[in-house]
Structure 1
Amino acid sequence: MAIPRPGGGATQVLDRSARTPGRRETESALALAERMPRLILESRRVSSTLAHGIHGRRRAGPGESFWQFRPFVAGEAAARIDWRRSARDDRLYVREREWEATHNIWFWIDRSASMGFSSHLAQGPKVERALVLGFALADALVEGGERTGLLGLTRATASRRIVETMAQALVADDKGQDDDAPPPATPGRFDEAVLISDFLSPPEAVKASVDRLAGRGTRGHLVMIVDPVEETFPFSGQAVLHDLESKLSLNVGDAGAWGEAYRVRIAAHRDRLAEIARTQGWTLTIHRTDRPASEAALRLLTLVAAARGTG
């Protein structure tokens, strides 16, 4: 069972007889190609429950000023077609608004080793919940007229096939499984970023990523995915902790006493993450994997709507 070690990855409580502690389960959880069809279906189910939570940003003001006509892209909703302009020649066109042309929402989904953990209390590995949540949000936001994409992997698009596009890009991105920080991508000014991770990296590494993105005018949201066991450390007696990132092990003689110190440290770690987000005007959402993904998705939609309303 993965136990966060703030400032240095995650650990796992293991059977002393395990030869390769935790690796088989972690590698299985992170081998996403065969899981993607199921995760896509799950994300579609979640996004369909958010229909009433999708924010309406089509309002009077600069964001609705006409920007340009652009060719219709296969996969977009037919309702976006401007039939009067399209009737002038043999192509279909979309009337693009200024708001749509200059604002995008970018996702980064952590797929590093610690995200492969799942305890008996969870509904699945953290990485699966992160993917379902990211896909569902992207799908719902596109339905609401937004452009979304993956930082460093795809362009921002309003295609109705955004979930499939994101899934294909992630499966093809082998390097991303080793990174526990967003890529050095450069979103545009006033874009938004949604970073989904367990954020068990040192707080200063998280701060560096947030400061870099915020320094370009990007607003954003941190979504911390947490296994229930990582909240409470409900162990006693002797235990062996295994770090899924560094593969180091630690023998703990009194897990109950160690757990008390752990809970203090994890609370301090989260307080620091909240401070990092607050300093840049970002938000922090903590989501447990024993709770429905729709809870976090609806909260994020509300936060995105609030950010748009003040933009």
Structure 2
Amino acid sequence: MARVAVHEPEIRSPGRSQTDAALLLANRLPRLVLEARRVSATLAHGIHGRRRAGPGESFWQFRPFHPGEPAARIDWRRSARDDRLYVREREWEAAHSVYVWVDRSASMAYSSDLAQCPKIERALVLGLALADAFVEAGERVGLLGLLPPRASRRIVERFAEAIAADRAGMDDDLPPETPLRTQDEALLVSDFLTPLDELAPRIESLSSGGARGHLVMIADPVEETFPFAGQAVLQDVEGGARLRVGDAAAWGDAYRTRLAEHRGALADLARRRGWTLTLHRTDRPASEAALRVLTLVGASRAGQGLTGAA
């Protein structure tokens, strides 16, 4: 029989203080950053590889000064270090930007003994790893509602710092209502267990300006199968409601049917907006979902509105 856990210290009764403690990720983020870097290193870069010098704000590299160039382009501080003249090149920045959002609400702390980690940890690893991969491919990446897009080689650390400081984000299982531009792209990572009538307006708001988007649904293997039998107590970790069930096995078929209907409706919503949907289970490697998302990103930019599961 699978066991489940919500990562809170000494839960006695549900409440906001316990939920905040459960999702305080400051102590775990350094490890998750390292894991995200490892996953990012396994990804095939070059979504539409654009790394080259040009007009922009971010420093890219120094290169030797070529005769005939305007002297105003010389970086005199760098040139003073040796007997050559150098130009400070900036990274080329197009209008296209990617916005990442990771759900950190209480339901994301769920974990069973069949999973490799809690849903929140896998969601953060995927969000950070994909942000790093996008930057390496030449994208400007931002945190939806927290950080503007940037092409920083330290994007993972910047995102981790912003997430650790954002206590308010722990209370919301919906992405911010931030209309994006046609050139923009959204990456939303969540378990998407929120009722569709609440989730749909947010997705429609994000896509109303023509932005593309990708939903990554994180699921614990126990949530997929509901392998319980006998007496059980079901608890809503966000609202605090409790339900004692006399025969949990009898609930299995109805639960799985309801879950399939919810996911089908979410897939239809994504398809209508031209977005993609990826299902990822926490008993599978993070790299599988990351590679799948990169494939879908490339396909959507090529005009192929694909949906799928990893």
When the two structures are superposed, what TM-score results if normalisation uses the length of structure 1?
0.83
Matches within 5 A, 1:1-311: 19-20=12-13, 29-50=22-43, 53-58=44-49, 69-73=55-59, 77-78=60-61, 88-90=73-75, 92-94=88-90, 96=92, 100-310=93-303
Summarize deviations over 1:132-183 as a string: whole Å, max 9, x none. Answer: 0000001111111111110010011111100001001111111000011111
Tell me which of the two structures has the higher relative contact order, counting C-alpha pairs closer than 8 angstroms and 6 or more residues apart.
1
- What is the one-letter code of the residue matched to 2:74? D
Q: Report deviation, 1:70.
A: 2.9
Residue type at the aligned position of 2:134: L
Q: Which amino acid is 2:257 matched to?
A: V
Deviation at 1:306, TM superposition (A): 1.5
Match of 2:80 in 1: none
Q: Secondary structure at the match of 1:194?
A: strand
Measured on the aligned residues, the alpha-carbon RMSD in Å equals: 2.9
Partner SS state of residue 227, structure 2: coil
4+ runs of 1 displaced by more than 4 Å?
21-29, 81-87
Number of residue pairs the alignment of both structures matches: 285
Structure 1 residue 27 displacement after superposition: 5.1
| C-alpha distance in structure 2 between counterparts of 1:178 and 1:274, whole Å | 25
Q: Which has the larger radius of gyration?
A: 2
| Secondary structure, counterpart of 1:259 in structure 2 | helix
Residue 293 of structure 2: SS of its match in structure 1? helix
Specify whether residues 181 and 21 from structure 1 end up closer, same or farther in structure 2 by C-alpha distance, changes over 3 A only. Answer: closer
- In structure 2, do the counterparts of structure 1 residues 286 and 83 end up closer, same or farther at CA, with 3 Å as the change threshold? farther
How far apart in 2 are the matches of 1:168 and 1:246? 28
Query: How far apart, in 1, do the equivalents of 2:161 and 2:173 lie?
Result: 20
Cα distance, 1:95–1:44 mapped onto 2, change above 3 Å: closer
Query: Is this contact kept in 2: 1:122–1:290, CA < 8 A?
Result: yes
The residue that corresponds to 1:7 in the other structure is: none
Which secondary structure does the structure 2 equivalent of 1:186 belong to? Answer: coil
Q: Does the Cα contact within 8 Å between 1:29 and 1:117 map onto a contact in 2?
A: no
Distance 1:172 1:310, change over 3 A: same
Counterpart-to-counterpart distance in 1, 2:17 and 2:284: 25
More helix per residue: 1
Partner SS, residue 273 of structure 1: helix
Give the TM-score normalised by the residue count of structure 2: 0.84
Change (3 A) 1:71 1:103: closer
Quote how far apart the aligned CAs of 1:23 are.
8.8
Rounded to whole Å, the distance in 2 between the matches of 1:275 and 1:105 is 23
Q: Which runs of 5+ in 2 are unaligned?
A: 76-86, 305-310
Distance, in Å, in 1 between the alignment partners of 2:70 and 2:109 is 48
Identity of matched residues, %? 56
Distance 2:111 2:140 in 1: 32
TM superposition shift of 1:29: 4.5
SS in 2 for 1:240: strand
The answer to whether the 8 A contact 1:195-1:221 is kept is: yes
Question: What is the Cα deviation at residue 92 of structure 1?
Answer: 2.2
Cα distance, 1:309 vs structure 2 = 2.5
* 2-structure distance, mates of 1:147, 1:212: 21
Once the two structures are superposed, what CA deviation does each residue of 1:235-267 show, in whole Å capped at 9, x if it has no partner? Answer: 000100000110110011110001111011001
Return 5+ residue gaps in structure 1 as ranges: 4-10, 13-17
Distance 1:22 1:116, change over 3 A: farther
Cα 1:28–1:119, aligned 2, differ >3 Å: closer, same or farther? farther
